[in-house]
Amino acid sequence: MSYFRKEPDVWWKNEGQSPVSAADYAANDILFAALRKARPDYGWLSEETLDDGARLAHDTLFVVDPIDGTRAFVNGKPVWCVSAAVVHRGRPVAGVLAAPALSEVYTAYRGGPALMNGIEINCATNDASPSVIAAPEDAFRNLREEFRANAVRSAHVPSLAYRLAMVANGSLHGTLVKPNSHDWDLAAAELILEMAGGGLRDRSGALIEYNHSNVKHGFLFAACGDQLSLLQTALAGFEDH
């Protein structure tokens, strides 16, 4: 937060498509030092650490995004978060999302509750209509008409991890996730969503796995409770965007 709205240094990666700030690197250094000291036998995967593949020899590892939503962060917008997960044998078992500019912290561990600021959240109890879906406009138009008749498209949420947290806390009923999201965008948020009664799936409806050599994922969708199956049905014949 000492960098937020203070015009930190910014560089561009991925051929100028993705910003990274001094705050990303500082947060990464703090997380690496604290977490690896606590669990030196765990592997490590972070968006801001060069991936040398050593993590693949570990059944258990930390999966970290020091700032998810860096573009929002550098533009002074509050919708960004720090994401940290423990992944064991391909699936998340503990996760934390901290959104300090919004004064929100989400936590979960497998088999336990999902908490927001220490209070249990359960999105499956939220059956409000119409369905509120976060999706690009062109993708939303490609959902089946009978689903769109009872759905509205939400405003863009720049942080994917926080968007999944919004499904977990009931602010959204679902979201479409365009191809090329990464392990670090998803792992902590997926667990929080799952423990809150929702789920994240690939096009076939299957769970995704983490800690493969390729950390990118294809088209995904997330929703809460019955909305998960409804959204999967609405994707029939859908063309990826």
Q: Could you state, in order of their start, the residue ranges of all structural domains in the chain?
A: 10-120, 123-234
64 and 83 Cβ atoms separated by less than 8 Å: yes
Average pLDDT of the segment spanning 69-81:
96
* Mean pLDDT lowest among 65-74, 92-101, 145-154, 161-170: 145-154
Separation CA 30–CA 35 (nearest Å): 8
Kindly report the pTM of this predicted structure. 0.95
Q: What is the CATH topology of the domain spanning 123-234?
A: D-Maltodextrin-Binding Protein; domain 2 (3.40.190)
Average pLDDT of the segment spanning 8-34:
92
Q: Does this chain's domain 10-120 share its CATH topology with 123-234? A: no
Q: For the segment 101-149, what is each residue's pLDDT rounded down to a tens digit?
A: 999 999 999 999 999 999 999 997 666 668 899 998 988 999 999 999 9
241: pLDDT strictly greater than 60: no
| Cα angle 54-59-63, degrees, rounded to a multiple of 5 | 70
Collapsed DSSP state (helix, strand, coil) of residue 20: strand
Domain 10-120: CATH superfamily, name plus number: Fructose-1,6-Bisphosphatase, subunit A, domain 1 (3.30.540.10)
Average pLDDT of the segment spanning 184-202:
98
